[in-house]
Amino acid sequence: EEQDDMRAIVGLGLQTTLVAWCRMSRKDLDAALATGVRAVNLSTPVSDTQIQLKLGRDRRWVLANVAQMVAMARDAGFDDVRVGGEDASRADQDFVAEVACTAAAAGARRFRYADTVGLLEPFGTFERISRLRAATAIELEIHAHDDLGLATANSLAAVRAGADFVSTTVNGLGERAGNAPLEEVATALSVLHGRDCGVRLAQLPAISQLVAEASGRPVPVGKSVVGDAVFTHESGIHVDGLLKDPRTYQGLDPARLGRHHRLVLGKHSGTASVRRAYAELGLRLAEDEVQRLLGRIRVHAGSTKRAPTADELLGFWHETRAPRPYVAGTLN
């Protein structure tokens, strides 16, 4: 089934490089070859923990197998051969460099440094990738897992240290806590470092939603970059500043992502939010009306846990315009 799916993707003729991920074995290499892809990633454990406990082998065997399988992949006709260093973050870093150099000598194009169990942090990532970059000229890729919520930070640190590529997934989908999210990495590289990685940022919300629907894993409303609430503002001081000049509370221009600021009314809203909301309904409020309506809106938000609708706002306005006689136990 995997081969059928991959052959179907190859048949789409996409303008992209399709890579088959394999264990470093002849069986997997033959399976990849049958799909029609022209690039292959051969993964091998590089930490002693995995080499010994999972494979029952030693470092010398790993180096010999890397050299043999890379050469075999090139001879089989793969134009683009890559080697993945599984569990590289827990390995002897001198040995990681030796594996990368062996891969390069055998004809590999790229070495993937994998933080398989997600234990890296940005400072250590920078140090390790800098060291690896100094040891070899092969293309370097960082493959970060998000177990500690640091996949994006580690990916950015790796790029700063000399990594050429970043493994990403849309919405960060992946094993356990997932991998570095495409939307976070691409946006951060552009906004923080001025690096264009070829991703059209304005299309990120759409692809995020598509993947969320296809995977059955909804995007949390507070998810960075693509979450529904990312550019939503309720706080009075925030809204007041944004209305005066967006730069006061804007670090990332939502227009770059094809989005816009959304101002909502709630228990933390201030008078500026109320004036704006009613102005959008065609009503210009007097100061005393603003204060009365603000109190009514805060009570509503506290009891319903949501922003009032346009009809409810108009209802509040009518109530404050024609107050009812006080009756004990009711809101006047």
Chain segment 9-59, per-residue pLDDT in tens: 999 999 999 999 999 999 999 999 999 999 999 999 999 999 999 999 999
pLDDT surpassing 70 at residue 326: no
Return the pLDDT at 328.
47
Of 288, 223, 230, 291, nearest in space to 262 by CA: 230
Above pLDDT 70, what percent of the chain? 97
For residue 330, what pLDDT band results from cuts at 50, 70 and 90?
very low
Of 63, 135, 129, nearest in space to 99 by CA: 63
Return the pLDDT at 322.
56
Q: What residue has token string 């590529």?
A: 165
pLDDT tens by residue, 80-123: 999 999 999 999 999 999 999 999 999 999 999 999 999 999 99
Torsion angles phi and psi, residue 33, rounded to 5: -60, -35
Mean pLDDT of the chain: 92
Q: For residues 298 and 118, which has the higher predicted lDDT (pLDDT)?
A: 118
Cβ atoms within 10 Å, residue 14: 9
Whether the Cβ atoms of residue 316 and residue 310 lie closer than 8 Å to each other: no
**Crossing angle for the helix pair 271-280 and 236-244, nearest 10 degrees?**
60
Length of the chain in terms of residues written:
332
Return the pLDDT at 319.
80
Whether the Cβ atoms of residue 263 and residue 308 lie closer than 8 Å to each other: no
Of 156, 155, 184, 160, nearest in space to 170 by CA: 184
- Number of helices (H), then strands (E), belonging to the chain: the values are 13, 8
Q: What is the pTM of this model?
A: 0.87
pLDDT surpassing 90 at residue 175: yes
Residues in CB range of 110: below 8 A, 6 or more apart = 82, 83, 138, 139, 140, 141, 164, 165
The C-alpha angle 139, 140, 143, rounded to 5 degrees, equals 145
pLDDT surpassing 60 at residue 227: yes
Return the pLDDT at 136.
98
Instruction: Please give the average per-residue pLDDT across 253-280, as a whole number.
Output: 88
Q: What distances in angstroms separate CA 168 from CA 108, 146, 245, one per listed residue?
A: 21, 11, 35
For residue 237, what pLDDT band results from cuts at 50, 70 and 90?
confident
pLDDT tens by residue, 45-64: 999 999 999 999 999 999 99
pLDDT surpassing 50 at residue 325: no
Residues in CB range of 65: below 8 A, 6 or more apart = 24, 44
